[in-house]
């Protein structure tokens, strides 16, 4: 199997992994079980992967992690909007 195809498949699966959580949060407008620290660490790590992808000129790394950053930033926005611990 071509290593780029493997990278694209792996990146796709990890990138879409948070979509069910995002959908649930949007439907229920409830973020009580979401860890803000986890989101911040995850977004930071994914952003570093994007940077690494640019340094190495690896399109699968850039695309999959950029998408994952967007999904998790969306979740972070929902966290801020729906957090009732104010």
pLDDT single digits (tens) 6-43: 888 888 898 899 999 999 999 999 999 999 999 999 99
The H or E element containing residue 57 is none
Q: Can you tell me the distance from the alpha carbon of 26 to that of 68, in angstroms, rounded to the nearest whole number?
A: 17
Locate tokens 């990146």: which residue? 11
**15 close to 70: Cβ distance less than 8 angstroms:** no
Cα 86 from Cα 80, distance rounded (Å): 10
- Rounded distance, CA 73 to CA 10, Å? 20
Averaged pLDDT, 40-66: 94
Per-residue confidence (pLDDT) for residue 1, from 0 to 100: 65
Whether this model's pTM surpasses 0.85: yes
């Amino acid at each position: 199997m071509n290593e780029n195809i493997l990278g694209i498949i792996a990146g796709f699966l990890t990138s879409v992994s948070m979509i069910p959580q995002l959908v649930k949060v949007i439907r229920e407008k409830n973020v009580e079980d979401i860890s803000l620290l986890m989101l911040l660490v995850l977004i930071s790590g994914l952003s570093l992967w994007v940077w690494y992808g640019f340094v190495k000129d690896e399109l699968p790394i850039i695309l999959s992690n950029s998408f994952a950053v967007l999904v998790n930033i969306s979740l972070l926005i929902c966290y801020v909007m729906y957090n009732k611990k104010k």
